[in-house]
Structure 1
Amino acid sequence: MLDALTALSQGTRLVYSRGLRRYVFLPILANLLVYAGVLSYVLSHFGGWLDSGMAMVPGWLDWLSWLIWPLFVISLVVIVFFTFTLVTHLIAAPFYGFLAERVEMEVTGRAPQDDRGIWRAGLDALGRELVKLGYIVPRMLLLFVISWIPVINLVSPLLWVAFSAWTMAITYLDYPMDNNKVSFAEMRRRLEARRWPTLTYGGWVMLITWVPLANLFLLPGAVAASVLMWDRHYRSLGTPVR
């Protein structure tokens, strides 16, 4: 059975092999531009966000400031990471969907069950990203609220990490599933049926996204890995529907 780390290793080598590497340069360039803009904005505002958060801590918890302060920092970093991830994937979705299609043809020798043209597929990929946002954003906002509630927010970093892994799995494993006419609801059912491969894959992808700059070159490998995971773990879990 293919494990997530092996899939990521194989996928990264695959996308930079001859015949596929030409499909990764546009998403890398798009993400690089977003990365520079988000980093500049965060660096100029992070201190103010942190001061505002600490000002909300009640006086009777001052003795826990040594613990609350790093938890605020961790929560802010995770929230910024989440926002950056959502924006970059919205922009790169059409490129990643096309890359997943090419990888599937290379790995399996057969084309995905997708009869859409390249332009229709690109537009549909953006629509699918909005569906993902409709699922992710309300849950992200709930965690954001929890992050600012005294005492309860002590566990918020752990909740953010678990949710981040699940979100990364949804984001990347959706590319080959969308290409094979698996609906978003059906995709979630399949991910839940293979919970351990899903969370380990999402966890490794989450760690990759935390590697500054290098993540821009590693994320296309995560797209290829999603195709390998789809073929080994999820393809056989039912008839694709849309």
Structure 2
Amino acid sequence: MKGNLLEGADYLAQGFKLITQPGLRLFVIIPLLINIGIFALLLSLTFQQFSQWIDDLMAWLPSWLEFLRWIVWPLTVVFVLAISSYLFSTIANLIASPFNGLLAEKVEERLTGEPVNGPETFAQLLLMVPKSFAREFQKIMYYLPLALLALVITFIPLINVISPLLWFLLGSWMMSIQYCDFPMDNNQRSFKAMKTALGQYRLTSSGFGMIVMAGTMVPLVNFVIMPAAVCGATIYWVEKLKHATPQNNARIKQ
């Protein structure tokens, strides 16, 4: 497979450096506030119910398997965090998608010195909302069949021991898709072309998605992970992905 896991992770590190730079802070604030509000609310609800979920899961097992609780607990933690992190990121990105697209646009303009055809006024930004929501819906519809398959595996005895890993890998791949889509959508790359480009650098894409996924599980870091990931994904687009989607056949059909 082409690419490098560490290279993908480094793009997020570069993204964190960018969000503090003058000229970009304004475009970071709104996604950041949206992210803080949603993550704080939903993570609070998740952890309030976590112990009950463990008890319900153990209730399915015979009493003589009670000793498995110490195994079930960490596996369930990974499982719940993977599902919750992607769910929360999906909701946050759905609401913040127009602003994330604008952030990706400004980052690309700073990196390349060339204008990106995007909204220049608040009214134009509002007009982008339906298009942004439609693109987010595409991601959800792509995710659902894969999540259903992972869910089925979760309930198959013996095989289900790998389900936490599957959920993490799926969440990581979707994080890569989620954030790399912003700069690629700004440049009229289709959803299919976007997935193809990420697949050409699968290890780099996976490394980026994994570190973003891990970041969403860390308190406080998860508040700033969204704008940093948008910036990192835009750097990834400019340096590699832009050349993996030929302009003449990857444009979105009008």
User: Does residue 1:227 correspond to 2:234, yes or no?
Assistant: yes
- Greater length-normalized contact order (CA 8 Å, ≥ 6 residues apart): 2
Single out whichever of 39-48 and 188-197 deviates more from structure 2.
39-48
Q: Give the drift of 1:142.
A: 2.5
Q: Give the drift of 1:60.
A: 7.7
Q: Give the drift of 1:124.
A: 1.1
**How many angstroms apart in 2 are the aligned matches of 1:183 and 1:171?**
13
Aligned to 1:186, which of 169, 176, 193?
193
User: Does residue 1:40 correspond to 2:44, yes or no?
Assistant: yes
CA 1:210–1:59: 2 relative to 1, 3 Å: same
Aligned runs of 1:150-169 on 2, under 5 Å?
150-169=157-176
**How many angstroms apart in 2 are the aligned matches of 1:221 and 1:103?**
11
**TM-score, normalised on structure 1?**
0.90
User: Does residue 1:104 correspond to 2:111, yes or no?
Assistant: no
Match of 2:178 in 1: 171
Aligned to 1:14, which of 8, 18, 30?
18
Single out whichever of 28-37 and 48-57 deviates more from structure 2.
48-57
Aligned to 1:95, which of 93, 96, 99?
99
Single out whichever of 176-185 and 153-162 deviates more from structure 2.
153-162
Match of 2:150 in 1: 143
**TM-score, normalised on structure 2?**
0.86
SS of residue in 2 equivalent to 1:111: coil
CA 1:138–1:156: 2 relative to 1, 3 Å: same
Q: Give the drift of 1:65.
A: 4.7
Unpaired segments of 5 or more residues in structure 1?
A: none
* Residue pair 1:114, 1:181 contacting (<8 A) in 2 also: no
Identity %: 36
**How many angstroms apart in 1 are the aligned matches of 2:119 and 2:79?**
43
CA 1:97–1:46: 2 relative to 1, 3 Å: same
The AA in structure 2 aligned to 1:241 is R
Tell me how large the CA RMSD over aligned residues is: 2.3
Q: Give the drift of 1:223.
A: 0.7
Match of 2:87 in 1: 83
Aligned to 2:54, which of 15, 39, 50?
50
Match of 1:134 in 2: 141
Single out whichever of 146-155 and 87-96 deviates more from structure 2.
146-155
What is the CA deviation profile of residues 145-175 of structure 1, one whole-angstrom value per residue up to 9, with x for unaligned ones? Answer: 3223332210111111211111110000000
Match of 2:217 in 1: 210
* Residue pair 2:173, 2:206 contacting (<8 A) in 1 also: yes
Single out whichever of 207-216 and 65-74 deviates more from structure 2.
65-74
Aligned residues: 242
* Residue pair 1:14, 1:221 contacting (<8 A) in 2 also: yes
